Structure 1
Amino acid sequence: MLGLVVIAICLLDSAASTKPSFCHDLDCPNYTVLRSFGGYELRRYEMSQWVTTRDLMTSYDSHKNSQMFFKLFHYISGNNTAGMKIPMTAPVVDIYTPGVGENNQQTVMEMHFMIPHNMQPYPPAPTDPTVYISMLPALDVYVKSFGGFSDHMTNLVKITELKNEINNSSLYYGDHFYTAGYDGPYSVNRHNEVWLAAKH
C-alpha cells in the first residue's frame, strides 16, 4: 500500500513538473505537443469546460473587450449559482470569427476562462444571462508563441506570420482564429499565443 502511495505522489510530482512555466501557478488546459517546427508547434488539447461570453463587433473595440473580461471575472468572483469564488486559470482565450452579420462586416468574439481542473465535471452556472458554460472539444491547433505586451493588431500580425510559416492553407481552418494570453496587466515577462485549428 505504501508503495502505491509513493508511486501516486511521484506521478503527481511528474505531472506538476510538466506544466508549462508560462502557466505560473495557475491551472492550464492539458495538451500534448505533437510536433515542433521552427517558429511554431502543433498541439493536441484535451476536451475541457470553460466559462464564456460573446459579442458582435463591426471593428475591434477595446471597451467591449474589457466588458467581456469583467463579465467572466465577476463569474469567478461569485456571480454564480453557488456564490463561490473560483480560482483564476490561464490562458484567457479569445476566438474571433470574422465575416458574419449584416453584409459579412462583423466579427463574433468569444472570450473564455477555463474552469479549474477540480471543478471541470460540475461548474456552477453563471447568474449573468450573457455568460455561459461551454465545452471546448478535443482540438489540434497550430500555435505561435511570442513575448511582450500584445494587442489586437499584434495578434493579427502574428496570425499572418503563422499562416505564412505553415505555408499550406489546406492544413488549417482559416475562417476563425484564437488568441491566448497568460499574464495579468502588470506582468513583465509575458507569454502570448495565437492558434489556428488544424484540419485532419
Structure 2
Amino acid sequence: MFRLTVLASLLVLVTPRYPQPCERELDCPKYRVIERYNGYELRRYEPSLWVGTRNVMSSSRRDSAFSKLFSYISGNNERGLKIPMTAPVLSTYTPERGMYNNQWTMKEMLFMVPHNMKRYAPQPNDPTVYLKMLPQMDVYVKSYGGYSNYRTKLAKVRELKSDINNRYLYDNNAFLSAGYNGPSEPYNMRHNEVWLVARR
C-alpha cells in the first residue's frame, strides 16, 4: 500500500498542469514536468515548429511583431493558407543597454505552428518572418496571472532567478515570456509565464 501511495505521488509530480487555454481549445507545445519547486517548475519541452520575427525594442516606436505573425496565419504565406491560432505567444528577450527602458533590447516573437501542420507549414511572404524549429529544451518556468508588460516580466524573471538561487543552472543572456490569452480575457482568468533555459 505504501509503495502504491509513493508511486501515485510521483505520477502527480510529473503530470503537466497545462494552462487553461491549452486545456480548452488551443494547440500548445508539449512538455512534461521534470520537477516542481516552491514557486516555479522545471519542464522539458518536445521539439516544435514556430513562425517568428524579430526587432529591436524601443519606447519610441510601435511593436509590429504580433501583427506580422497574425498576418502570416491569416493567409499571408506562399499558399494563402489560414492557420489556427495556437498558444502561447512566445517572446525571447535579449537585454543589452537600457534593459529597463526597452532601449537596445532584441525581441523575437513566435507563434507555434499547429502540430498537425508541422510537416507542410507554408513559407511566409514577408521576408522579415521565418519558420524556426525549436529543439527539445529544459526550461525553468514561473507562472503568474493578470496583465503583463515588459517591466512585469523583468520583475518576474528576477524573482525566478532568486528562487533558483544558482546562476550556473540557466542561460543568463536572455529570457522568454509566454502569454496564453487574448486581449479580451478577464484579468482573473489570465495566465502568463517567464522562462529561463536550463543549462545542460
Aligned mates of 1:179, 1:83 — CA distance in 2: 29
Specify the code of the residue in structure 2 equivalent to 1:21.
Answer: Q
Q: CA deviation at 1:74?
A: 0.3
Give the TM-score, by structure 1 length.
Answer: 0.84
Counting matched residue pairs gives: 177
| Helix, strand or coil at the partner of 2:68 | helix
Aligned mates of 1:61, 1:86 — CA distance in 2: 32
1:94 to 91, 94, 105: 91
* Equivalent residues in 2 for 1:170-185, closer than 5 Å: 170-185=168-183
Q: Once the two structures are superposed, what CA deviation does each residue of 1:139-190 show, in whole Å capped at 9, x if it has no partner?
A: 1000000000111110000000000000000100110000000000010110
Q: Once the two structures are superposed, what CA deviation does each residue of 1:31-77 show, in whole Å capped at 9, x if it has no partner?
A: 010000010000000111100000123x456721xx11000000000
Give the TM-score, by structure 2 length.
Answer: 0.84
Kept in 2: contact 1:51–1:115 (CA 8 A): yes
Q: Name 1:30's counterpart in structure 2.
A: 30
User: Where does the alignment leave 5 or more consecutive residues of structure 1 unmatched?
Assistant: 1-16
* Equivalent residues in 2 for 1:93-112, closer than 5 Å: 93-99=90-96, 106-112=104-110
Instruction: State the identity %.
Output: 56
* Equivalent residues in 2 for 1:1-200, closer than 5 Å: 20-23=19-22, 24-57=24-57, 59=58, 63-64=62-63, 67-99=64-96, 106-188=104-186, 189-200=189-200
Q: CA RMSD of the aligned region, Å?
A: 1.7
Q: CA deviation at 1:109?
A: 0.6
Q: Once the two structures are superposed, what CA deviation does each residue of 1:77-123 show, in whole Å capped at 9, x if it has no partner?
A: 000111011000000000011227xxxx7221100000001001120
Aligned mates of 1:199, 1:132 — CA distance in 2: 26
Specify the code of the residue in structure 1 equivalent to 2:127.
Answer: P
| Helix, strand or coil at the partner of 1:144 | strand
| Helix, strand or coil at the partner of 1:121 | helix
Runs of 4+ in 1 over 6 A off after TM superposition: none
